[in-house]
A and B are shown apart, each in its own frame.
Chain A
Amino acid sequence: MTDLDKSGAAAEVLTGGDTRGAGPRRRRARPGARGRGVPLPLLVPALVGLAFLLLPLIALLVRAPWRSLPEQLTSPEVWQALQLSLICATAATAVSLVLGVPLAWLLARTEFPGRGFVRALVTLPLVLPPVVGGVALLLALGRNGVVGQLLDSWFGITLPFTTAGVVVAESFVAMPFLVISVEGTLRAADPRFEEAATTLGASRFTAFRRVTLPLIMPGIAAGAVLAWARALGEFGATITFAGNFPGRTQTMPLAVYLALQNDPAAAIALSLVLLAVSIAVLAGLRDRWMTAS
């Protein structure tokens, strides 16, 4: 349950509130808006929490090698890694959307035995240490893996050490975010709209496409943004499953990790680039969705 609450809250933040998305956007009526002041027992931990989250970022900025930053960032490898990161994270988000939204719908709208167990399984990649996730992917989809063997012998497809492998690894860790978020939105959405559509002769799929999807769009968007952010920062599963080769599988987090080995200053510079890009994208998306929904 807490997972749902969390994802609901995350969706709330990312879409600027109103995850129900039913009809036109309402102004949020704040409960307790009558008592203007913020109660101290809430304010103090809130500020401590904010400081705790922001302090490492500020430390990065303080210690950043500003003077050598330009030359650090003009190296082609950095742009290669950044480009690869953005492409792969976006592709992983697309994969998560295509597979994750139907899965979320299945979990929220159908009854089948063991549904709670399946829901728990879906969140498994959130709990798995990323490196273990990478090893599990190797054992499943590697050249010698349970399914990977068949892929290799039937289609000649091998995923490890390829860009597709990066997308697979990132999708594996990012999709649960999307599923949880969308499922929470679906549960909160009123099923009577769909029922009305079906009584008017729409098939269940048409009802989903024409009624449910527009209804839960904000939740999907929030989930997609979460998944994208998670995919962008993915390190453990990627380096284990897809290895590290510049231009093919070396995403930004891998480049940062390896730069840290001999040149911490460069690593900080790279981290800043990644941060700047992700903040720009997230902020841009949020505005889009706030005005759109």
Chain B
Amino acid sequence: MTRCTRRTRRTLQVTGVGVAALLALSACSSGSDSSSKKDSSSASKDSAKKVTGTVTVFAAASLKESFTTLGKDFEKAHPGTKVTFSFGGSDTLAASITGGAPADVFAAASPKTMAIVTDKKDAATAPSTFVRNQLEIATLPGNPDKVASLKDLTKSGLKVVLCDKTVPCGAAAQKALDASKLKLTPASYEQDVKSALTKVELKEADAAVVYKTDVKAAGGKVDGVEFPESANAINDYPIALLKDAPNAAAAKEFIALVQSAEGQKVLTAAGFLKP
């Protein structure tokens, strides 16, 4: 019993110290605020009007890695802000936005999914394309099946997964297949690009048609095979400020960061093409 109470007291002490440290830190950061503002004022004039609070960004699954990085950059540049993300299939996100989800920014993987939102008059600004993404074939590490072209995927005995036609990566893959007059019967039509990639990462499928950025993000777990037909199906990624944005000021800043040179640098490093 006594040990118990001692332990609680100990925990309380630790938390107390922790809270104190946090307070001190936040005091520090608010103190350094004025100085950091001076530094960044050269970078962008807008940070003079201070933005605070939480920015909620709904973004396509394929943007996960690069937007997470940009979110951290944004929080560094604007102390007192917090960027929260909801990554998923563009259409799922669009459906939840039109259903009234409280989001500030929507970055979709295709104009078509963005149109779901703009048709419902839920966007405050006209969407603008900020990056483009090209398809690539993801194969098992070392490419044991010797996949060299889109046509190779139609070989019998090969387990291929595609995205479902309702999601942008699936629509693009279909476009590329149609353009090269190929018939491909996949093992599965996955619900988003990340789950298609996961099937190859787990070696359950031999190949998947995903984005260049996904292959890059998977590191050594998959090999990427470029194919010329992908030029016929390059996806534009539009971004827009939402009409009912709870934090429009900070959201505008975030969109500006995405479109700025430094934002583009992060995105192209992840494998995206410039708009």
Contact = CB atoms under 8 A, between A and B. Distances in A.
Interface of A: 138-139, 142-144, 160-161, 239-240, 242-246, 249, 257-262, 264
Q: Which residue among B89, B91, B189 has the maximum number of chain A CB atoms within 10 Å of its CB?
A: B189
Contact of B204 (A138, A239, A260, A261): A138
Given A139-B202, A243-B161, A261 B91 contact: yes
A262 B166 contact: yes
Given A245-B186, A246-B189, 7 more contacts: A142-B203, A143-B204, A160-B187, A161-B188, A244-B188, A249-B188, A257-B191
Contact of B95 (A142, A243, A245, A264): A264
B167 interface: yes
A46 B164 CA distance: 43
A261 B167 contact: yes
B186 to A, nearest CB: 7
A245 B189 contact: yes
Interface string B194-221: 0100010011110000000000000000
B170 to A, nearest CB: 10
A258 B164 contact: yes
Interface of B: 89, 91-92, 95, 116, 159, 161, 164, 166-167, 186-191, 195, 199, 202-205
16 contacts: A143-B203, A144-B203, A160-B199, A239-B191, A243-B199, A244-B190, A244-B191, A245-B186, A249-B188, A257-B191, A258-B164, A258-B166, A261-B89, A261-B166, A261-B167, A262-B91
A209 to B, nearest CB: 41
B164 A244 contact: yes
Contacts of A261: 89, 91-92, 95, 164, 166-167
Given A243-B199, A258-B164, A160 B95 contact: no
A142 B204 contact: yes
A160 to B, nearest CB: 5
Nearest to A257: B191
Contacts of A240: 195
B188 A142 contact: no
Contacts of B92: 260-261
A250 to B, nearest CB: 8
B191 A258 contact: yes
Contacts of A143: 159, 203-204
A258 B189 CA distance: 10
A243 B202 contact: no
A244 B205 CA distance: 13
A161 B188 CA distance: 6
Nearest to B89: A261
Given A144-B202, A161-B159, A262-B91, A243 B166 contact: no
Contact of A245 (B91, B166, B187, B191): B187
Contact of A138 (B91, B95, B116, B202): B202
A75 to B, nearest CB: 15
A244 B164 CA distance: 8
